């Protein structure tokens, strides 16, 4: 409580400063939040000003201007987003949206579901930031549009697509701790064809993932580094205006070392000396068609294949492979400029291969009906989805949203929705743990928000209340498990209450741009009244960027409050990242950045240490319009 109170004056001052500079921003250069187009909030291209859901778009320019060195570090700077990572860069990482678990965040790449169906989450450490064109985030329930696992929200990572003249870009950089990175990307369009090609690579020696004296004897003093590589291929053919067929392929490979232990007879004492390694390969291939049939009708059809292949261990290697085959058909009817209906069918087959068990495939059919409309100053959005799964049966989810545009760029919004998380293959089938009759987690949530959007300024505040029931966890009482489970089993064990307030704003003023995110969270297990692990009660981000002539300077300060984990309260920590760029000639830039400039020693989770201070120096080429 003392820590929360001490941060309130700082947050109030920062918010007051943001509001005071609103008027000056109207004449300043910067982003245009009013007309920014997103897809995630409605499943169809829609201007942010027409969306009722809590949506934010991180565009290419914001990604370039940031000092983030990974997708997860970029996401954690947004309001309502917290990071869970087992150590520093390259270690397994996931995002918690509005206090929900990592398995309650749905991650898409170009609109296609990705991640592990055995572990139930997407390891963001496997995705290279160099492949990303923009990221769309919808905070709040998303199952009514996208199906299972969208209790906390949805993240859509959009890769590059070719357009206009030839565009060649690339960079190369070296850093401390044996770090290096680079990428080359080429895109453009000619006649009826568009194309995009990119390759990227990163490496670092890192530091030991686990601190000495950990509770389970897994500390090994060796460095736990990583290498990450990525490939993007894409192209399309447009034989006439409004008609396009496209092919895409995205792949990444993450190799990382981590600390763990093996337990050998006769005493089964922990032995942390082996060299434990992960190798995670992800692939996504898709063919899609999009067409404009008339002034009122548009449609799309996509078939995709996604795989997530993890090999983990030392002397004994565990294998967890996921394969997803998806077909999506979608039609949008826009009878007037203010009214839109969306119809969609999602077909999904998931199959897994594991060294620990076998499991049958599962099929899912999803039917979606969405409506977006405007009546004067009033905005309405309603989504309804029905899912039938071959394992856990039928699920119906819905969302209803209302917005009202006030004068001067201000607007109100309110949203109520339901969502669910599907049990993973591990929850259902893992030996001596999984229960095939397990039911999905379910949530009911409401939220209310106030937004301000003009051409150079955005400001949004959202208060939310989310009640989650039938949480899937470890049932320690064998009496509550089927016969033969003598040490407990998976079960729908508890319920949770997630409530909080998020404030986020972007303000351009002269040559400066200020970005602010404030997050207050109360995430409780309602059965025990205990705070859910790894959730900070408050988190704040302040970023300042200056762009004048050939110079670009920026800094980001992140404060993460204390949070419980494994029976202890981890202390708060602060991270300061700095970056500088100088355009030396034409399309060439020299870049320097410092991650964790104050060399803060912190534990992202119990007994794991975060990345130390890392210096980077690099050269970038940005050849637009070649």
Q: Residue 140: its pLDDT value, please?
A: 95
DSSP H helices, 318-466, are 425-429
Q: Residue 47: its pLDDT value, please?
A: 84
Q: How confident is the model at residue 593 (pLDDT cuts 50, 70, 90)?
A: very high
Percentage of the chain with pLDDT > 90?
76
Integer-rounded Cα Rg, in Å, for the chain is: 24
Q: What is the mean pLDDT of residues 3-13?
A: 36
């006649």: which residue's tokens? 191
């190798």: which residue's tokens? 279
Q: 2-491+500-623 in CATH: which number?
A: 2.40.170.20
Q: How far is CA 68 from CA 197, 544, 558, 604, in A?
A: 23, 13, 12, 17
For residue 261, give the nearest of 311, 217, 207 by alpha carbon. 217
pLDDT per position as a tens digit, 391-442: 999 999 999 999 999 999 999 999 999 999 999 999 999 999 999 999 999 9
Residues in the chain: 626
Q: What is the mean pLDDT of residues 598-618?
A: 94
595 pLDDT higher than 50: yes
Q: Residue 264: its pLDDT value, please?
A: 81
Q: How confident is the model at residue 7 (pLDDT cuts 50, 70, 90)?
A: very low
Q: Residue 33: its pLDDT value, please?
A: 52
pLDDT per position as a tens digit, 104-126: 999 999 999 999 999 888 888 88
2 pLDDT higher than 50: no
Q: How confident is the model at residue 18 (pLDDT cuts 50, 70, 90)?
A: very low
19 pLDDT higher than 60: no
Determine contact, residues 286/112, Cβ cutoff 8 Å.
yes
Greatest Cα pair distance in the chain: 76
The better pLDDT of the pair 184, 70 is held by 184
pLDDT per position as a tens digit, 230-254: 999 999 999 999 999 999 999 999 9
Determine contact, residues 253/280, Cβ cutoff 8 Å.
yes
Average confidence score pLDDT of the chain: 90
Lowest mean pLDDT, pick from 258-272, 300-314, 341-355, 600-614: 258-272
12 pLDDT higher than 50: no
Q: C-alpha angle with apex 134: 349 to 160, nearest 5 degrees?
A: 75
166 pLDDT higher than 50: yes
Q: What is the mean pLDDT of residues 86-92?
A: 84
Q: Residue 153: its pLDDT value, please?
A: 95
Q: Residue 400: its pLDDT value, please?
A: 98
Determine contact, residues 177/207, Cβ cutoff 8 Å.
yes
Q: Residue 625: its pLDDT value, please?
A: 55
Q: How confident is the model at residue 539 (pLDDT cuts 50, 70, 90)?
A: very high
């060399």: which residue's tokens? 599
151 pLDDT higher than 50: yes
Could you tell me how many helices (H) and strands (E) the chain has, helices first? Answer: 6, 36
pLDDT per position as a tens digit, 447-502: 999 999 888 898 999 999 999 999 999 999 999 999 989 899 999 989 999 999 99
Q: Residue 195: its pLDDT value, please?
A: 96
Q: Residue 1: its pLDDT value, please?
A: 34
pLDDT per position as a tens digit, 366-381: 999 999 999 999 999 9
């Amino acid at each position: 409580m003392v820590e929360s109170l001490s941060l309130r004056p700082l947050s109030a001052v920062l918010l007051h400063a943001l509001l005071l500079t609103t008027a000056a921003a109207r004449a300043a250069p910067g982003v245009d939040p009013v007309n920014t187009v997103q897809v995630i909030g409605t499943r169809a291209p829609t201007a942010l000003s027409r969306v009722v859901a809590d949506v934010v778009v991180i565009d290419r320019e914001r990604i370039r201007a940031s000092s983030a060195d990974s997708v997860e570090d970029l996401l954690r700077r947004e309001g309502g987003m917290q990071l869970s990572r087992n150590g520093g860069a390259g270690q397994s990482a996931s995002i918690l949206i509005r206090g929900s678990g990592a398995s309650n965040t749905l991650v898409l790449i170009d609109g296609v579901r990705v991640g592990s169906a055995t572990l139930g989450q997407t390891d963001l450490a496997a995705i290279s930031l160099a492949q990303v064109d923009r990221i769309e985030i919808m905070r709040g329930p998303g199952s009514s549009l996208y199906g299972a696992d969208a209790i906390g929200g949805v993240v859509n990572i959009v890769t590059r697509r070719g357009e206009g003249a030839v565009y060649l870009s690339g960079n190369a950089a070296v850093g401390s701790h044996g770090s290096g990175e680079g990428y080359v990307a080429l895109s453009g369009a000619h006649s009826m064809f568009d194309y995009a090609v990119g390759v990227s690579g990163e490496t670092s020696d890192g530091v030991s993932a686990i601190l000495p004296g950990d509770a389970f004897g897994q500390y090994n003093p060796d460095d736990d580094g990583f290498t990450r590589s990525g490939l993007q291929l894409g192209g399309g053919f447009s034989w006439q205006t409004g008609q396009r067929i496209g092919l895409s392929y995205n792949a990444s490979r993450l190799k990382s070392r981590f600390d763990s232990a093996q337990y050998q007879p006769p005493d089964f004492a922990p032995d942390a000396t082996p060299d434990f390694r992960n190798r995670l390969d992800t692939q996504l291939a898709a063919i899609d068609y999009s067409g404009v049939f008339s002034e009122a009708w548009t449609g799309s059809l996509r078939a995709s294949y996604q795989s997530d292949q993890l090999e983990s261990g030392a002397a004994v290697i565990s294998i967890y492979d996921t394969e997803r085959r998806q077909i999506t058909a979608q039609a949008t009817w826009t009878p007037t400029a203010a009214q839109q209906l969306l119809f969609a069918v999602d077909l999904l087959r998931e199959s897994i291969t594991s060294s620990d068990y076998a499991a049958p495939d599962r099929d899912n059919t999803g039917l979606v009906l969405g409506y977006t409309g405007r009546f004067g100053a009033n905005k309405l959005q309603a989504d309804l989805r029905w899912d039938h799964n071959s394992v856990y049966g039928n699920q119906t989810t819905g969302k209803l949203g209302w917005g009202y545009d006030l004068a001067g760029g201000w607007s109100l919004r309110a949203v109520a929705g339901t969502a669910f998380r599907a049990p993973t293959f591990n929850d259902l089938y893992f030996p001596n743990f999984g229960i095939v009759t397990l039911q999905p987690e379910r949530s009911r949530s409401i939220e209310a928000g106030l937004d301000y959007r003009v051409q150079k300024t955005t400001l949004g505040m959202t208060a939310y209340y989310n009640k989650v029931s039938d949480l899937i966890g470890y049932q320690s009482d064998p009496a509550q498990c089927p016969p033969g489970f003598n040490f407990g089993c998976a079960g729908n064990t508890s319920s949770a209450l997630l409530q909080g307030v998020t404030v986020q704003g972007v303000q351009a003023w002269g040559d400066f741009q200020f970005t602010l995110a404030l997050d207050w969270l109360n995430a409780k297990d309602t059965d025990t009244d205990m705070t859910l692990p790894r959730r900070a009660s408050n988190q704040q981000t302040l970023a300042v960027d200056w762009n004048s002539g050939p110079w670009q300077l920026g800094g980001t300060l992140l404060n993460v409050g204390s949070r419980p984990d494994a029976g202890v309260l981890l202390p708060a920590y602060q991270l300061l990242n700095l970056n500088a760029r100088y355009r030396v000639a034409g399309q060439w830039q020299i870049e320097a950045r410092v991650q964790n400039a104050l060399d803060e020693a912190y534990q992202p989770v119990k007994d794991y240490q975060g990345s130390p201070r890392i210096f980077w120096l690099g050269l970038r080429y940005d050849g637009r319009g070649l």
